[in-house]
Chain A
Amino acid sequence: MDSRTEKLLGADNYQKLRESRVLLVGAGGIGCELLKNLVLMGFGEIHVVDLDTIDLSNLNRQFLFRKRDIKQSKATTAIKAIEHVSNSKLVAHRANIMDVELFPLSWFHQFAVIFNALDNLEARRYVNQMAQFLQKPLLESGTAGFDGYIQPIIPGSTECFDCTTKETPKTFPVCTIRSTPSQPIHCIVWAKNFLFAQLFASGSSTTSDEDLGTENPEEIKRIQQETNELHELQDYAKAGDESKIVDIFRKIFVQDIEKLLAIEDLWKTRQKPSPLYDIEIGGPVCKDLNVVWSIQEQTNAFVEATKRLMRRMTDEKQIEFDKDDQDTLEFVSTAANMRAHIFNLPQKSVFDIKQIAGNIIPAIATTNAIIAGLSALASLRVLSLIKNSATAKPLELNMAFTAMASKISSHRYLSNPQLASPNPKCPVCSIKRGVINISNNELKNIRLSHLMEAVREKYSYPGEISVLDKSTQRLLADFDFEDLCGKTLFEINIKNGTILLVADERCDETELRCPTEFYIACGTEGGLELPDIEVPLVEVLAPSETPDDDHEVQQSVTAEGAIILDEEEENPRKRPLDEAPEPTSKVAKIDEGEVLLLD
């Protein structure tokens, strides 16, 4: 037996693994780690989807990327970087997973399992929905600082991603931070994670590696050029040459802004920034940290803080931002405020900025590594590939989240509750799903009223129904809105990949037909083909209650050392996330302030 994996799984299972095609969505922090694991395990074919390009700030944790790869596609580069050990067929897609033209529902069908390694809620939700349509197992994962979780999702049998409410972590696209800030927080993130990191932390910055958020080639070019130029300024900072402070000031608060102004497209709908032309450089500083300083005071304090940091650089070689380190805090505060002034945004006191900057959570490489390892491991049981082990029922599978690192427990490194049953009130997995096949020709012939009639008849809706286009949240028809019923599907922009939500609109009934989502799949042939699915009558449920969050806060804060072993296993059917909220939301609640997740 040649392969270690083969010895581990047994010949039959290993053969299955070698023949399995899997999808990895995301090639960032978790994605790089997961790709490495999947390749080493020996999955037959691995598709990697990521639209992003590599940013300087990714390099301190996304270990497949190097400086020379900056601006390259993450998906393509990650695959190139792991090829030297790979026995798998690796396919890169530099694209958005939500692009229905490239990735229609039928495309997802080829995969045995989907791995989510995403950094945003929207794409997570989308993939979750695709998994629900196809009844495909999904390995969901996420990290925020030292917190992380993995959750296998078996459609129809276990909780789906949307069965518990998720708080949206605040993340910002790179272009908002680097080109078009519209809130003070954008300036603070810029000052801390970009400017400070580049000047003093030797590029080990933790700037968001979101998609740049812009298609404007001029702007992308400018963002990248700016990064490289700042690297030059770093040499000044390292050399401790205080006479260069004026150059640094002019570069970031005048020249860079002028370059931005030159990209006229950016300012068509936005107020233009004003470079800091007429400012004396140097002068007395204000000592009161609770008030907002004048722009001259900001400048003076910026110069003084920069001097102090430069002097420290000769000894310390690199300095990390710490909100309790007054030099780093004043540098970041004053730089953020000057940028806010330039972009006509409100400024904040050093005191306020200390709070906000302290709540920016950096991505941690080790958390990503642990979570990606767990995700890969969990997939073996989901796919029943473990040797001599009985096939686990979905509800016997485990999820896992960091317990010690998240300060939830002192004697559990991980918590591993078993999966919970689907939430009957879940807006995503409690409803029925099917695919409507329709030819492009018929799209132009069939009217909405015709489609509604066909649906009503086939699934026995006795009365009024409503139709909502989920992709755009457009109401297409209901009992008192029939304007579009006479239009063809083509005319109302129903196309390949559109998801229609059909709901029973009768009033005062105790039972209604279950709401159903239809995925519109367009082909070149055939007519209109409705799926053979059973749409049952369901009891009308009371509106869902808002979850009681206070309880969770109390628990996670006082939990250290206080939680007894195996508490969550007392009742394995209890929904695990009630007890241990999704790490991202937990952090958000504990910190109470503005929390920003990076990665």
Chain B
Amino acid sequence: MAAQARMRNAKVLLIHLGALGAEITKNLVLSGVGSLSLIDDSDVSSQDLDSQFFLGKAEVGTKRLVAAAPRIQDMNSRVELTIDTEHFGSKPDAYYQQFDLVIGTDLTSAEIIKINAITRRFNLPLFVAGLNGLSGYIFVDLIEFDATDEKLKSSVPTALGSVSQNRRITEVVEHYNEEQKKTFETIVTRNTYTPFEKVLREGTFKGKLTRRQLKRLTNAVPLTLALFEYPDGVGEVTPATLKEKALAKFVQLGLPTDQLQQIYVDQFAEQAGLEFAPVAAVIGGAVAQDVINILGKKQSPLNNFVVLDGITLDMHIFEL
């Protein structure tokens, strides 16, 4: 089957083996991805033991990848596993060209912008994911992607044309299924994507969500985006500066500013960049599922921004 073959031949690069990287790695290795390259220059800290399972107590102080690699390979000997303990930033742009797909985890927004420019240049699909304590996010840039979905034909045939800002139906083929005695439609949807930098600068919900939807939007979404406004990392986040940036995001996104809740500001200020295993499991599971999908079956992929609010378990997909 072609889909399986594509999956087995795919070369995937994963940047950073933190809590999230470990979850994604586990899922991809179990699913039998052909080749997985990990790049991470950090050492095992005692805190890593709270958030990931490829490392052991005895390995604190050694390189994360060196410590984790045997346990990763042990899960599936058929996956071609490569580790690199240099910092990904030290690699020339051409380094990325050998891969079919890039996944970046735990990156600063400056790093995301840089990597995204490279993946765009080489026409590579990019997944970016990160954790902010009880919250987590996924950003996807597949540049352009034709998804094929099968759907039971309803009384109204699916029409060609735009269905949302980033998605347009380009082809609908009807076929009758003899076994089920029903008519199905094979729908090709062209997904276009927006680069991360543009999402950050211009992304908005204006004209996309109804007033009610805007009202019900979890604060986790604007706050996640506000944290990207610390380009070099979240080390300097304070509730006061975060609140200011969040309010600016509310305006950019077209959200009523009176909806900003101090309790969320405090939570995100305190938990920015913090790893937490169950959130990593949800986000890592969603990233891996979508990576497996686009490498194989090619059903409608994530497009293009997902935020989990780990308290209410709200997890929406937004086109930004």
Contacts and interface: CB of A to CB of B under 8 A. Distances in A.
Q: Most chain-B CB neighbours within 10 Å: which of A322, A355, A414? A: A414
Interface stretch (B115-123, B205-213, B249-257): B205-213
B311 A4 contact: no
Contacts of B315: 400, 412-414, 416
Interface stretch (B85-93, B194-202, B227-235, B274-282): B274-282
Interface stretch (B35-43, B51-59, B104-112): B51-59
Contacts of A439: none
Contacts of B219: none
Given A372-B281, A386-B134, A377 B47 contact: no
Contact of B134 (A8, A42, A355): A8
A381 to B, nearest CB: 7
Contact of B284 (A204, A369, A404): A369
Contacts of A389: 263, 311
A373 B154 CA distance: 35
A365 interface: yes
A88 to B, nearest CB: 11
A4 B276 contact: yes
B316 A325 contact: no
Contacts of B306: 413
A557 interface: yes
A40 B285 contact: no
Contacts of A374: 278, 282, 313
A169 B310 CA distance: 30
Contacts of B173: none
B53 A4 contact: no
B65 to A, nearest CB: 16
Q: Most chain-A CB neighbours within 10 Å: which of B266, B275, B279, B312? A: B312
Contacts of A37: 277-278, 281
A566 interface: yes
A8 B281 contact: no
Interface in A341-359: 351, 354-355
A566 B216 contact: yes
B308 to A, nearest CB: 8
A373 B47 contact: no
A411 B276 contact: no
A111 interface: no
Interface stretch (A93-101, A313-321, A538-546): A313-321
A316 B213 contact: no
Contacts of B27: 365-366, 369
B255 to A, nearest CB: 15
Interface stretch (B95-103, B240-248, B286-294): B286-294
Contacts of A412: 315-317
A413 B277 CA distance: 19
B285 to A, nearest CB: 4
Contacts of B58: 84
Interface stretch (A60-68, A264-272, A291-299, A491-499): A60-68
Interface residues of B, number: 72
A319 B5 CA distance: 9
B271 interface: yes
A354 B177 CA distance: 13
B278 A4 contact: no
B279 A63 contact: no
Contacts of B289: 146, 364, 366-367, 370, 405
B8 A317 contact: yes
Contacts of B271: 7-8
Contact of B151 (A204, A318, A364, A560): A560
B31 interface: yes
A325 B274 contact: no
Contact of A41 (B57, B277, B316): B277
Contact of B276 (A8, A405, A560): A8
A3 B31 CA distance: 31
Interface in A473-492: none
Interface in A316-336: 316-320, 322, 325
Interface residues of A, number: 70
Contacts of B141: none
Interface in B1-60: 1, 4-5, 8, 19, 23, 26-27, 30-32, 46-47, 49-53, 55-58
A585 interface: no
A42 B50 contact: yes
A319 B8 CA distance: 11
Contacts of B316: 411-413
A388 interface: yes
Interface string B141-155: 000000001011010
Contact of A3 (B47, B282, B308): B47
Contact of B32 (A204, A364, A566): A204
A41 B75 CA distance: 23
Given A8-B134, A369-B285, A85 B55 contact: yes
B192 interface: no
B258 interface: no
Interface in A394-428: 398-400, 404-405, 410-414, 416
Interface of A: 2-5, 7-8, 33, 36-37, 39-42, 60-61, 63, 66, 82, 84-85, 87, 146, 202, 204, 316-320, 322, 325, 351, 354-355, 364-367, 369-370, 372-374, 376-378, 381, 386-389, 398-400, 404-405, 410-414, 416, 557-558, 560-561, 565-566, 569, 592
Interface of B: 1, 4-5, 8, 19, 23, 26-27, 30-32, 46-47, 49-53, 55-58, 74-75, 78, 133-134, 149, 151-152, 154, 163, 179-180, 209-210, 212-213, 216, 263, 266-267, 270-271, 274-282, 284-286, 288-289, 292, 300, 302, 306, 308, 310-318
13 contacts: A4-B47, A4-B275, A5-B50, A369-B288, A370-B286, A373-B285, A377-B134, A400-B315, A405-B289, A410-B317, A413-B315, A565-B216, A566-B213
Given A40-B19, A370-B289, 19 more contacts: A7-B274, A40-B50, A63-B75, A66-B75, A146-B289, A316-B4, A318-B4, A320-B4, A351-B179, A364-B289, A366-B27, A381-B311, A388-B266, A398-B312, A399-B313, A404-B317, A412-B316, A416-B313, A592-B180
